C-alpha cells in the first residue's frame, strides 16, 4: 500500500512539474498566445499595454572561441583556437500584466527586445479588471 501511495505522489509531482514548466513558456492574452522569443512589439500588440514596466542595462561576460596560432596543449593535442572572454551590455525590460483578481499576475522578462522568461505571481488586484 505504501508503494502505491509513493507511485501516486511521484506521478502527481511529475504532472505538476511538467505543467508549471509549460506555463513559463507562454501566456494567453484573450484568444492569442505569446511565448518566449516574441518581440516587445509583438507582445504589446497581442496583450496591450502592461500594468508596469522597468528597464535597465546589465553587463555580462560571455565566452567565444576564436582562431589563434596553433600550439600543443598539455595532453599533446594541437589546438588552433582559444577561448576569449568579452563583455556585452544587455537591455533588460521587465513588464507586469495584472489582469485582475480572477487571474494571476504575469511577469515578463525581455532581453534585448526578445521575451526570455515568463513567471507567474499571485492573483491580481481588484482595480485591474
In whole angstroms, what is the distance from residue 124 CA to residue 18 CA?
Answer: 24
Which of 3-7, 43-47, 100-104 comes out lowest in average pLDDT?
A: 3-7
Residue 2: pLDDT band (50, 70, 90) is: low
Helix, strand, or coil here: 52? strand
pLDDT digits (tens, 9 = 90+) for 95-107: 999 989 999 999 9
CB within 8 Å of 109: residues ≥ 6 apart: 92, 93, 94, 115, 116, 117, 118, 119
Query: pTM (2 decimals)?
Result: 0.68
Amino acid at each position: 500500500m505504501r508503494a502505491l501511495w509513493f507511485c501516486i505522489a511521484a506521478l502527481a509531482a511529475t504532472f505538476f512539474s511538467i505543467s508549471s514548466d509549460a506555463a513559463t513558456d507562454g501566456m494567453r492574452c484573450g484568444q492569442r498566445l505569446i511565448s518566449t522569443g516574441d518581440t516587445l512589439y509583438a507582445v504589446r500588440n497581442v496583450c496591450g499595454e502592461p500594468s508596469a514596466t522597468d528597464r535597465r542595462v546589465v553587463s555580462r561576460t560571455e565566452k567565444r572561441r576564436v582562431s589563434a596560432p596553433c600550439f600543443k596543449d598539455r595532453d599533446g593535442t594541437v589546438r588552433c583556437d582559444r577561448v576569449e572572454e568579452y563583455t556585452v551590455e544587455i537591455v533588460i525590460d521587465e513588464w507586469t500584466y495584472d489582469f485582475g483578481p480572477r487571474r494571476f499576475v504575469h511577469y515578463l522578462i525581455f532581453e534585448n527586445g526578445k521575451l526570455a522568461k515568463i513567471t507567474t505571481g499571485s492573483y491580481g488586484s481588484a482595480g485591474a479588471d
